[in-house]
Amino acid sequence: MALLEVNNLTVEFKTSQGPFRAVDSIDVAVGANDVLAIVGESGSGKSVSMLAVMGLLPWTATVTADSMMFNGVDLAGLDSKQRRDIVGKDMSMIFQEPMSSLNPCFTVGFQLREALKAHLPLSRRERKHRAVELLEMVGIPEPTKRLGAFPHQLSGGMNQRVMIAMAIACKPKLLIADEPTTALDVTIQAQILELLLELNQQHDMALVLITHDMGVVAETAQRVSVQYAGQKVEEQSVEALFATPRHPYTHALLAALPERATGKMLPSIPGVVPGQFDRPSGCLFSPRCEFATELCVKEVPIANSDDPTSVRCHYPLGKSASVA
Amino acid sequence: MSETLLQAEGINRFYTVRTGLFGKSATVRALSTTSFNLQAGKTLAVVGESGCGKSTLARVISMIEPPGQGSFTLDGTTIKADEPAASEIRSSVQLVFQDPYGSLNPRQKISQILCEPLLINKPEITAAQREEQAREMLQLVGLRTEHYDRYPHMFSGGQRQRIAIARALMLRPKLLVLDEPVSALDLSIQSQILNLLVELQDKLNLTYLFISHDLSVVKHMADEILVMYLGRVVESGSTEEIFTNPQHPYTQALLSATPVADPTLEKNRIQLEGELPSPLSPPSGCAFNPRCWLAQDQCKKESPELELQGTHSVSCHFPQRC
């Protein structure tokens, strides 16, 4: 059984102009030692879907799902106290901006020990010992000294390591990393990704990586789920996705990568991601899709939820190419 | 052979900062002695991590700040350290910034944004001519003329970046300094903007100084590359040479750290230890020596000079030649 299994997750926000559907019937399944990447442009609902799983959305959000099982517990049925026992312990999250996710008023040591105090029955001395151990684990030099440092005294890469140390403090079964390296330089990015993969392999920790960087996906993930305007359009293993993308959106996205360009002009996707008020009828990608027909404009394509490789498209690529 | 538009000779820029309330003042060597040439109609990319002096270089070249020492020649006019540049020459260099949400005034209409450069620099032009030029420019960057009277918040990120480019082009500059122009944009929008930049370069014979940390974008756009580390140029050469035959260990590490969108590719990554040292107290000798896996005693004592070999130059005591 999968560690995290979410079926038909929908998140709607109340806005002054009416409800806005940020996430539209998404299925997520993460196995015990998986590395799943969720890819999409801004506004594709990739962060919101994972925040919904963590229960971190504001009150304006309405989360509905057929089932939301994590480690045998139904997340949807929990009250806030029971949820707090799981979030931060068995399931934790790191965010994009390490500088703004840490509290500037407290030392990193205090913030790290706070996470331990909330979840584990450790004494004061044990907590300090564990904090040093954690900082060492994420590769921070002179960990004992660094416990007394404030976030502004550390660099972005170091702060992100502190965030990771906090997230893995209680040995979580699932770590959700929301754009963990977007704010960092490439050489530091390589170090952080290496660290996350190492934790995934050595500590049996499942990893969900939310990103928009196709390069990061190719180098770290095992499976990739592609989202567009709140919907999951396809999910494949990483090799298959890069070799034979089946949804036209994925195909166009990969073709737009500068490193795959053959000429001076890049193949680009016309238009922009639909917003709250210009959602097209039928397939959400149809206005930008080069293969769109009348059927795509009229009817919403539905992926077969029993078939994990199915694609939310009337005319998936790959299959039709072999026929033609 | 096209003519040289920009020739920089030994420009540097130091800042003096105070450490603490009563602390001694210290010098940040944001940009140390840098020389390069840029041909008209070409693209020179500057790559490096944050804090390597890319943006300081952009500020000096766009004459926001004078160089601390040295001089550069732009289109026949020499700008020296202690002389403020004339306003005519300033208008031939324009900037496009990274964040299209922060770089457009939310209270100004697109018409005002586009006409302001003309109003200030070319007061002899009539209002009707200004409007005509601004509307033309909107079409040139792929926006519609009915966008003329709207406000920035009504546009998406990609469209705003088009407006920022249009504003930069209003004075018909020769050199466009692009400071991370696509790194705030989504992938599908990024390719639209890159295509626009290529198109405009062809149409208007523009020269680009392209600052970026994304090597896949740089590889696509640039003719020549300047790799910087801690305020110094460590390697420079044509795009092809830098990518196929990187000789400085830092360039090699940078190339290997860049994720490639190909899961089947065999990874052979050089893991760099540590982080960029503080520019307040740069290491002695070669700036890269604390992180370099090839560093020897000489690297800790002597700072290597930038050695020119044909079109490719490297600043390293032990360059990795293949």
Q: Where are the alpha helices (DSSP H) in chain A?
A: 46-54, 80-86, 98-101, 108-119, 124-137, 143-146, 156-167, 186-202, 214-220, 238-243, 248-255, 294-298, 319-323
- B293 and B212 in a single domain? The answer is yes
Is residue B321 one of the residues assigned to a domain?
Answer: no
Q: Per DSSP, which regions of B75-162 are E strands? A: 77-80, 93-96
What's the pLDDT score for residue A319?
Answer: 56
- B87 and B131 in a single domain? The answer is no
What's the pLDDT score for residue B235?
Answer: 93
Is residue B319 one of the residues assigned to a domain?
Answer: no
Q: What percent of chain B has pLDDT over 70?
A: 99
Q: Per DSSP, which regions of B40-194 are E strands? A: 43-47, 69-74, 77-80, 93-96, 175-179
CB pair distance less than 8 Å for A41 and B263: no
Tens of pLDDT, residues B28-62:
888 888 889 999 999 999 998 887 888 889 989 99
What's the pLDDT score for residue B178?
Answer: 94
- Span B283-310, average pLDDT: 86
Q: What confidence tier does A321 reach under pLDDT thresholds 50, 70, 90? A: very low
Is residue B197 one of the residues assigned to a domain?
Answer: yes
Tens of pLDDT, residues B139-166:
999 998 888 999 999 888 889 999 999 9
Sequence-ordered list of residues with C-beta below 8 angstroms from that of A273, at least 6 positions apart, any chain: A41, A42, A43, A44, A228, A229, B186, B188
Structure tokens at B277: 């040292």
- B190 and B64 in a single domain? The answer is yes
- The secondary structure of residue B154, as a DSSP letter, is G
Residue A261 has pLDDT above 50, yes or no: yes
Nearest of A109, A103, A190 to residue A144 by alpha carbon: A109
Q: How far apart are CA B69 and CA A160, in angstroms?
A: 38
Of B154, B171, B188, at which residue does a domain stop? Answer: B171
Up-side HSE of residue B48: CA atoms within 13 Å toward CB? 27
Amino acid letter, A137: M
pTM of the model: 0.87
What's the pLDDT score for residue A323?
Answer: 37
Residue of A nearest to B275 (CA): A188
Residue of B nearest to A185 (CA): B49
Structure tokens at B140: 């040139």
CB pair distance less than 8 Å for A189 and B259: yes
What's the pLDDT score for residue A18?
Answer: 85
What's the pLDDT score for residue B79?
Answer: 87
Q: Respond yes or no on whether ipTM tops 0.85.
A: no
- Span A67-82, average pLDDT: 89
- B292 and B153 in a single domain? The answer is no
CB atoms within 10 A of CB B269: 15
Higher-scoring residue by pLDDT: B289, B322:
B289
B176: Cα separation from own chain's centroid: 9
- B55 and B190 in a single domain? The answer is yes
Is residue B113 one of the residues assigned to a domain?
Answer: yes
CB B241 within 8 A of CB B312: yes
What's the pLDDT score for residue B211?
Answer: 93
What's the pLDDT score for residue A320?
Answer: 44
CB pair distance less than 8 Å for A242 and B261: yes
What's the pLDDT score for residue B322?
Answer: 61
CB B150 within 8 A of CB B160: no
Residue of B nearest to A41 (CA): B186
Which burial class, exposed, middle or buried, applies to A83 when counting CB atoms under 10 A from its CB (0-12, 13-18, 19+)? middle
What's the pLDDT score for residue B139?
Answer: 92
Is residue B297 one of the residues assigned to a domain?
Answer: yes
How many domains does chain B divide into? 2
What's the pLDDT score for residue A322?
Answer: 39
CB B273 within 8 A of CB B257: no
What's the pLDDT score for residue A1?
Answer: 67
CB pair distance less than 8 Å for B220 and A258: yes
Which among B188, B213, B217 is the nearest to A258, CB-wise?
A: B217
H or E segment and range at residue B115? helix B110-121
Structure tokens at A233: 């359009």
* CATH code for the domain in which residue B23 is found: 3.40.50.300
Phi-psi region of A6 (alpha: psi -120 to 50; beta: other; left: phi over 0): beta
Interface test with A, best of B187, B223, B255 (most A CBs within 10 A): B187
Residue A32 has pLDDT above 50, yes or no: yes
Q: Which domain holds residue B162?
A: 101-171
- B63 and B122 in a single domain? The answer is no
Sign of the torsion angle spanned by Cα atoms B210, B214, B216, B217: negative
- B59 and B206 in a single domain? The answer is yes
- Span A242-259, average pLDDT: 91
Residue A306 has pLDDT above 70, yes or no: no
- B108 and B69 in a single domain? The answer is no
Of B116, B148, B171, at which residue does a domain stop? Answer: B171
Partners of B276 on chain A (C-beta within 8 Å) are 185
Q: How far apart are CA A207 and CA A86, in angstroms?
A: 16
Higher-scoring residue by pLDDT: A1, B87:
B87
CB pair distance less than 8 Å for A218 and B213: no
Is residue B320 one of the residues assigned to a domain?
Answer: no
Tens of pLDDT, residues B188-234:
889 999 999 999 999 999 999 999 888 889 999 999 999 999 888 99
Nearest of A200, A211, A202 to residue A175 by alpha carbon: A200
Q: What percent of chain B has pLDDT over 90?
A: 43
Sequence-ordered list of residues with C-beta below 8 angstroms from that of B202, at least 6 positions apart, any chain: none
- B80 and B204 in a single domain? The answer is yes
Sequence-ordered list of residues with C-beta below 8 angstroms from that of B58, at least 6 positions apart, any chain: B46, B95, B177, B179, B209, B211
- B215 and B127 in a single domain? The answer is no
- B84 and B188 in a single domain? The answer is yes
Sequence-ordered list of residues with C-beta below 8 angstroms from that of A320, at least 6 positions apart, any chain: none
Which among B187, B259, B275 is the nearest to A212, CB-wise?
A: B187
- The secondary structure of residue A87, as a DSSP letter, is B
- B71 and B177 in a single domain? The answer is yes
Tens of pLDDT, residues B121-133:
998 999 999 999 9
CB pair distance less than 8 Å for B259 and A258: no
Nearest of B77, B58, B78 to residue B13 by alpha carbon: B58
Nearest chain A CA: its distance from B264 CA (Å): 7
Partners of B156 on chain A (C-beta within 8 Å) are 272
What's the pLDDT score for residue B30?
Answer: 86
> Looking up tokens 């360039």, which residue turns up?
B251
- Span A187-195, average pLDDT: 88
Phi, psi of B162 (to 5 degrees): -65, -40
Residue B256 has pLDDT above 70, yes or no: yes
Of B123, B151, B171, at which residue does a domain stop? Answer: B171
What's the pLDDT score for residue A162?
Answer: 93
Partners of A257 on chain B (C-beta within 8 Å) are 187, 216, 261
Q: How far apart are CA A142 and CA A149, in angstroms?
A: 11
Residue A304 has pLDDT above 80, yes or no: no
CB A254 within 8 A of CB A247: no
Is residue B31 one of the residues assigned to a domain?
Answer: yes
Which among A185, A194, A258 is the nearest to B219, CB-wise?
A: A258
Residue A109 has pLDDT above 90, yes or no: yes
